[in-house]
């Protein structure tokens, strides 16, 4: 699929007069651009009135790109319905839980369940594919754009009908649904599917399983749109198909989605002002690589500098664009694409950075863009090479949805709970894969299961089997509490993992916090644990009995004071160590636990540095060393050592 790494960006020529298009091609050549994503928001221009299509301008654009040696990732243009469609068919509009209808004037104003939207989107996609399938410039298809980004769920009457059909398919008959949802509670028993509604605004908390099923349905409803367009493309073209993901995006279960793309693509906008943005970005690359499995993945959108949609939009520091780009390549990406090619001068995104800034070509940004183009052209031998990892961190959308509902012991941020472990491993120089509930764990020496609240017997068995064959296992608080219908597991919290870990959890005791969502460490009331592994914790404690495990830390406050907070069941008879962490650790405490996990599992870092801002990743036969910090840092690896200057990236050969 790739002779060169993809390098380029979203190209929106319809915002410019044709004389600018020639200049675009000239500058793309200067910058080493290999691919442009074209047509993402072109519906109104391609179909200016119902059934009247105008492709002449797009023919011209694609021909010019082709003549200039730039390939095209062609969008199906269905992401923003034109105003005429809404005027003729207001039923395409999405409806919120409180009945608010979202209108025109922005983008993504469609309900995934609207039959009208689907009909018109299918027709447009068909026309585009029919016209350009054989164009030599077109190397891939870009379906829609960021499904669910602005409208993750629709509660319209038409969505209600689709939700009922989805439920009928899942449960077969209404009594099975009643059992699964526990509708004996609060007089919620349904006599037929026709009585079931989306979880619209209601007087009090809504049935948790109804909410979870609506989350599942909403992810599937968006995915069905992608599948509809993909089938249209596939009937006419064998070029690879993608739709751009958005990192840890709650509304779409990307494990399911990834089965339906030929290559995974991601849009990532880490905040340059956020000190945790670098490891967070690393985690996003890691989940994209993990979602892709054996397929390629590409960074489809990032900013060259600032975005425009935060309250305050920090620019990337000098070299920051390059470092985050090479971080992606190191973590498996086969291309670096930007939003967008030329900075808009009108519209909502005119203050969003681009490859060609308002100030033109004689600029820091354009120079960095050209330099990266040259550098990527020299890195083609990474294409298709793998990023080895001996550690799996489990990530599960059902648990995300369930854990962050209301009516739980405490508001917990699932991503924060998971990334505490990813980031501690990142600081240790250890590369992590993410694993789904159904991923094979066979190749991992360390398996981390953070706050996986919803489990199946199969995942419980798979994790236990990994431990039995010698892998070290870590399970953290709020894991294995509920089944797929959100019923509390029979036999107690942790289910079968209780015997694997040698602990029982009796009661939860989160620390009181009046009004804060517990996702930002600084806002969570702290406490501490003491013992062999002492340190600060955030927000959570629970009453644990360590029946067959060593207690390495105990709680110091509250109901659980004096009781186990961190336990380890020693390896025995070929089985690995089994750890339980009954709280959310501070970074320092997570680092201390990770050091012990690495010792138990035999997993070693690819390189070591005293600086926490050095990132080291092996890809194929190359070792990528990135100093994100503002001071020089020493790095050592098997067979080498170097001093990295502030901000330096070095790619060295490594066996």
Question: Which residues are part of the catalytic machinery?
Answer: 146, 301
Closest CB 301 distance from ligand GLA, rounded Å: 4
Of residues 149 and 379, the one with the C-beta less far from ligand GLA: 149
Across the strands, what pairs with 49? 52
**Exposed / middle / buried, residue 45 (Cβ in 10 Å: 0-12, 13-18, 19+):** middle
307 binds ligand GLA (CB under 6 A): yes
266 binds ligand GLA (CB under 6 A): no
401 binds ligand GLA (CB under 6 A): no
Of residues 344 and 608, the one with the C-beta less far from ligand GLA: 344
Q: Is the separation of the CB atoms in 477 and 538 below 8 Å?
A: no
Q: In this chain, which of 24, 146, 215, 404 binds ligand GLA, going by CB under 6 A?
A: 146
Q: In this chain, which of 42, 76, 145, 183 binds ligand GLA, going by CB under 6 A?
A: 145
269 binds ligand GLA (CB under 6 A): yes
73 binds ligand GLA (CB under 6 A): no
Q: Please, what is the Cα angle at 393 between 210 and 217, to 5 degrees?
A: 20
Closest CB 11 distance from ligand GLA, rounded Å: 12
Query: What is d(CA 596, CA 361) in angstroms, rounded to the nearest whole number?
Result: 51
Structure tokens at 136: 């030599």
Query: What is d(CA 599, CA 613) in angstroms, rounded to the nearest whole number?
Result: 22
416 binds ligand GLA (CB under 6 A): no
398 binds ligand GLA (CB under 6 A): no
Binding mask 338-377 for ligand GLA (x = CB under 6 A): -x---------x--x-------------------------
Q: How many CA atoms lie within 13 A of 454 on its CB side?
A: 22
243 binds ligand GLA (CB under 6 A): no
To which residue do tokens 């060169």 refer? 4
Of residues 116 and 304, the one with the C-beta less far from ligand GLA: 304
To which residue do tokens 């002492």 refer? 534
CA 143 vs CA 78, 140, 149: distances in Å: 8, 10, 14
CA 158 vs CA 36, 155, 217, 585, 608: distances in Å: 36, 8, 13, 45, 56
**Exposed / middle / buried, residue 347 (Cβ in 10 Å: 0-12, 13-18, 19+):** exposed
Q: Which residues contact 32 (CB under 8 A, 6 or more apart)?
A: 7, 370, 372, 373, 374, 376, 377
Across the strands, what pairs with 418? none
For 363-420, the DSSP string reads SHHHHHHHHHHHHHHTTGGGTT-----SEEEE--HHHHHHHTSSSSSS-B-HHHHHHH
Question: Under rule CB under 6 A, how many of the chain's residues touch ligand GLA?
Answer: 9
Of residues 230 and 244, the one with the C-beta less far from ligand GLA: 244
Binding mask 538-557 for ligand GLA (x = CB under 6 A): --------------------
Of residues 148 and 495, the one with the C-beta less far from ligand GLA: 148
42 binds ligand GLA (CB under 6 A): no
Of residues 186 and 351, the one with the C-beta less far from ligand GLA: 351
Closest CB 617 distance from ligand GLA, rounded Å: 24
Q: In this chain, which of 267, 334, 398, 404 binds ligand GLA, going by CB under 6 A?
A: 267
Helix, coil or strand: residue 615: strand
* Subset of residues 592 to 651 that bind ligand GLA, contact rule: CB under 6 A: none
Q: In this chain, which of 220, 286, 301, 600 binds ligand GLA, going by CB under 6 A?
A: 301
Question: Which is nearest to 81 in space by CA: 132, 123, 138, 38?
Answer: 123
Closest CB 42 distance from ligand GLA, rounded Å: 12
**Exposed / middle / buried, residue 193 (Cβ in 10 Å: 0-12, 13-18, 19+):** middle
Query: What is d(CA 62, CA 136) in angstroms, rounded to the nearest whole number?
Result: 10
Q: Which residues contact 407 (CB under 8 A, 6 or more apart)?
A: 205, 208
Closest CB 323 distance from ligand GLA, rounded Å: 19
CA 509 vs CA 209, 462, 498, 557: distances in Å: 24, 29, 19, 10
399 binds ligand GLA (CB under 6 A): no
For 412-451, the DSSP string reads B-HHHHHHHHHHHHHHTT--EEEE-TTS--TT-SEEEE-S
Query: What is d(CA 379, CA 651) in angstroms, rounded to the nearest whole number?
Result: 10
Of residues 301 and 613, the one with the C-beta less far from ligand GLA: 301
Report the chain's C-alpha Rg in angstroms. Answer: 26
Phi, psi (deg, nearest 5) at residue 334: -105, 20
Packing angle of the helix pair 18-31, 364-377 (nearest 10 deg): 60
Closest CB 307 distance from ligand GLA, rounded Å: 5
Closest CB 39 distance from ligand GLA, rounded Å: 12
The residue with its CB nearest to ligand GLA is 267
Q: Is the separation of the CB atoms in 251 and 218 below 8 Å?
A: yes
Q: Which residues contact 649 (CB under 8 A, 6 or more apart)?
A: 322, 323, 326, 624, 625, 626, 627
Interface contacts to ligand GLA, rule CB under 6 A? 145-146, 267, 269, 301, 307, 339, 349, 352
């Amino acid at each position: 699929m790739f002779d060169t790494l993809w390098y380029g960006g979203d190209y929106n020529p319809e915002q410019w007069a044709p004389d600018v298009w020639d200049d675009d091609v000239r500058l793309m050549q200067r910058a080493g651009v290999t691919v442009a994503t074209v047509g993402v928001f072109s519906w109104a221009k391609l179909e200016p009135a119902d059934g009247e299509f105008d492709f002449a301008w797009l023919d011209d654009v694609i021909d010019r790109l082709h003549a200039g040696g730039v390939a095209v990732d062609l969008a199906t243009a269905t992401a923003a319905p034109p105003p005429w469609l809404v005027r003729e068919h207001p039923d395409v509009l999405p409806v919120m839980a409180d009945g608010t209808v979202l209108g025109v004037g922005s983008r993504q104003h469609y309900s995934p369940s609207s039959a009208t939207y689907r009909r018109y989107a299918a027709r447009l996609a068909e026309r585009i594919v029919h016209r350009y399938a054989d164009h030599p410039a077109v190397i891939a298809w870009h379906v829609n754009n960021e499904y669910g980004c602005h409208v993750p769920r629709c509660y319209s009457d038409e969505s209600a009908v689709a939700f009922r059909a989805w439920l009928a398919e899942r449960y077969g008959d209404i009594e099975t649904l009643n059992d699964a949802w526990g509708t004996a509670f609060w007089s919620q028993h349904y006599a037929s599917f026709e009585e079931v509604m989306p979880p619209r605004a209601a007087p009090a908390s809504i049935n948790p399983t109804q909410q979870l099923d609506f989350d599942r349905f909403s992810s599937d409803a968006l995915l069905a749109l992608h599948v509809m367009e993909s089938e249209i493309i596939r009937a006419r073209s064998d070029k690879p198909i993608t739709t751009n993901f958005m990192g840890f995006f709650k509304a779409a279960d990307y494990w399911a989605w990834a089965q339906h793309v030929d290559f995974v693509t991601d849009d990532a906008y880490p905040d340059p002002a956020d000190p945790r943005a670098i490891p967070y970005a690393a985690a996003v690359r890691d989940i994209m690589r993990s979602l892709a499995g054996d397929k390629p993945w590409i960074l489809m959108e990032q900013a060259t500098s600032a975005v425009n949609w935060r309250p305050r939009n920090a620019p990337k520091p000098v070299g920051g664009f390059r470092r985050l780009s090479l971080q992606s390549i190191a973590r498996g990406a086969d291309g670096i694409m930007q939003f967008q090619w030329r900075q808009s001068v009108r519209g909502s995104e005119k203050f969003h950075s681009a490859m060609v800034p308002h100030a033109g070509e004689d600029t820091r940004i354009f120079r960095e863009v050209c330099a990266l183009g040259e550098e990527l052209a020299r890195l083609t031998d990474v294409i298709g090479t793998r990023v080895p990892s001996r550690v799996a961190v489990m990530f599960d959308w059902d648990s995300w949805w369930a854990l962050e509902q209301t009516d739980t012991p405490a508001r917990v941020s699932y991503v924060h709970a998971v990334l505490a472990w990813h980031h501690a491993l990142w600081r240790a120089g250890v590369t992590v894969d993410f694993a789904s509930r159904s991923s094979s764990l066979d190749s991992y020496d360390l398996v981390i299961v953070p706050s996986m609240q919803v489990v199946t017997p199969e995942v419980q068995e798979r994790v236990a089997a990994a431990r039995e064959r010698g892998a070290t296992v870590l399970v953290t608080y709020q894991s294995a509490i509920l089944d797929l219908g959100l019923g509390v597991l029979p036999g107690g919290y942790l289910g079968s993992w209780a015997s694997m870990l040698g602990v029982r959890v009796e009661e939860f005791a989160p620390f009181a916090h009046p009004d804060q969502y517990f996702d930002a460490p600084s806002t969570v009331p702290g406490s501490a644990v003491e013992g062999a592994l002492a340190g600060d914790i955030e927000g959570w404690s629970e009453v644990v009995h360590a029946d067959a495990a060593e207690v390495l830390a105990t709680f110091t406050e509250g109901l659980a004071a004096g009781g186990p907070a961190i336990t380890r069941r020693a390896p025995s008879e070929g089985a690995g160590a089994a750890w339980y962490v009954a709280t959310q650790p501070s970074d320092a405490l997570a680092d201390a636990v990770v050091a012990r996990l690495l010792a138990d599992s035999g997993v070693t870092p690819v390189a070591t540095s005293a600086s926490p801002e050095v990132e080291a990743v092996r890809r194929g036969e190359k070792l990528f060393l990135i100093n994100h910090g503002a001071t020089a840092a020493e790095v050592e690896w098997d067979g080498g050592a170097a001093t990295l200057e502030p901000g330096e990236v070095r790619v060295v050969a490594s066996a």
